[in-house]
Amino acid sequence: MQTKQALEGLKVVELGTAAVGPFIGKYLADFGAEVIRIESSVHPDITRLTSPFKDGILGLNRSSAFTQINTSKRSISIDFNHPKGRELGKRLMTWTDVVIENFAPGVIERWGLQYDELKRAKPDIIMLSASSQGQTGPCSKMVGFGFNLKGLTGFVHFTGWPDRTAVGPPLAYTDFVAPWFAVVAILAALDYRHCTGKGQYIDISQSEASLHFLSPAIMDYFANHRVQTPQGNSSPYAAPHGVYRCKGNDRWCAIAVFSDEEWHAFCAAMGDPPWAQDSKFATLLDRKENEAEMDKLVEQWTINSTPEELMNLLQSVGVPTSIVQNSEDLNDRCPQMKHRGYRPVVNHAEMGPHRHMGWPCILSETPLQLRPAPCLGQDNEYICTKILGISDQEFLELSESGVLR
């Protein structure tokens, strides 16, 4: 049964590439907005060319990366090098409520699609430009990808062990931070427009947004002149607090003991071994003092059990513990993820049934309804004739002139 969708009726044009722009469009599309991706086979989005491909067969509609990132959207293929293509793009801009783009500053201007131009034709348009460091400033033209932006923003510095070079999180980390701020800004702008009739322009710098996840550490530098450094898994106010090897191949559990109560429960769960009675582990401060020794002793216990056994045992007595989950756990085994239906199966036109990322929030009235990612240009006819009201004859001419590719 189709329930109402939260963003039904909201119209979005997405000029997105790679991850950041498309993630923003995906959030809106998955909750019911009509999101039209303008793309082209002349310069396909990098994710359409990224492996792995379904069954290892290369194809613009067979990339799992593209499919994950672009669920629920429509696709029109337009060659912007063609003047008729740019004209078509402009027509879509008079239809839409919101435009999202994440090209390097300057690209949109080359196509004549900058905010001031779009506003002329549609005064209440809301446009969001996401770039790595913002539309202005001495570094605005630097091309940033998540894999180097994670360094610029400090996330690399903060991931690692105190006695070694920092390694950073192994992904384009800021790609998974900045887009959420962008979606909030767009929805806030929509509310403002709902009340006042006015649209506006949003310039989001991925670095400026992402730095909010490091606020306390950066504020520590400004206030106290301290340059914080990576601390492995330790916590200044909890012990044991870390990751311990378990039975199995590269299996680990995470344990975090914050209070005296949790410590006593933890000791009891271990069977009150003699070492745990030693006064050098009696209080939090004592345990922090003797942390290296304590961690070895804890691991001598954890190594005999699977992380599942330890999690179940320790959580049942109120000690925060989890499995350090890998891809197989997340995809196949985690009963909590399964329960919440976090990775629903969606049927893709060319790839068939495929597990997708949902979103981490369940809305009670308007639950998520993922639709498949589009094949390139699959909605050309629908968008031209039904949305833009172009005649069948004109549509034929556009198709034959090479504009729609």
Partner 1 sequence: MKETVGETALGSYRVLDLTDEKGLLCGMLLAGLGADVIKVERPGGDPARNVGPFYGDIPHPEKSLFWFAYNLNKKGITLNIETADGRRIFKRLVETADFVIESFPPGYMARLGLDYSALTQINPRIIMTSITPFGQTGPYRDHKGSDLICMASGGLMYVSGDPDRPPVRITVPQAYCHAGAHAAVATMIAHHYRQITGKGQHIDVSIIESVAWMVGDMAVLWSFDGFLTSRAGPRTGRGRLYMLDVWPCKDGEVCFRILGGVYGRGIRPLAEWAEREGMAGALKEVKDWQAVDMSKVTQDEMERWEKAFKAFFAQKTKAELLEEAKAKHIYLMPSNTPRDLAEDEQLAARNYWVEVDHFDHLGTTVTHPGAPFMMSLTPWRIQRRAPLIGEHNVEILGAELGLSKQKLEALKASNVI
List the catalytic residues. 175
Tokens 């002149």, located at residue: 225
Cα distances from 260 to residues 140, 240, 282, in angstroms, run 51, 11, 9
CB-facing half-sphere around the CA of 236: CA atoms within 13 A: 3
> Are the beta carbons of 122 and 93 closer than 8 angstroms?
yes
- Count of residues in contact with partner 1, rule CB under 8 A: 148
41 binds partner 1 (CB under 8 A): no
Find the shortest distance in angstroms from Cβ 129 to partner 1: 10
Q: Does 181 bind partner 1 (CB under 8 A)?
A: yes
Burial degree of 207 (CB within 10 A; 0-12, 13-18, 19+): buried
Interaction of residue 2 with partner 1, rule CB under 8 A: no
Q: Quick one: 223 or 400, whose CB is closer to partner 1?
A: 223
Q: Which of residues 108-167 bind partner 1 (CB under 8 A)?
A: 133-134, 136-145, 147-161, 164-167
Residue choice 71, 207, 378, 380 for contact with partner 1 (CB under 8 A): 207
275 contributes a contact to partner 1 by CB under 8 A: no
Q: Does 315 bind partner 1 (CB under 8 A)?
A: yes
Single residue of 121, 171, 282, 349 touching partner 1 by CB under 8 A = 171
Does 226 participate in binding partner 1 (rule CB under 8 A)?
A: yes
Q: How far apart are CA 288 and CA 231, in angstroms?
A: 13
Q: Least CB distance from residue 32 to partner 1, whole Å?
A: 9
Nearest CA to 30 among 325, 371, 279? 371
Among 268, 363, 391, 401, contact with partner 1 (rule: CB under 8 A): 363
Using alpha carbons, select from 127, 119, 76, 130 the residue that is nearest to residue 94.
119
319 touches partner 1 (CB under 8 A): yes
Residues 6+ apart with CB under 8 A from 333: none
User: By CB under 8 A, is residue 353 in contact with partner 1?
Assistant: no
By CB under 8 A, residue 324 contacts partner 1: yes
When the beta carbons of 111 and 342 are compared against partner 1, the nearer one is 342
Distance of CA 197 to the CA centre of its chain: 31
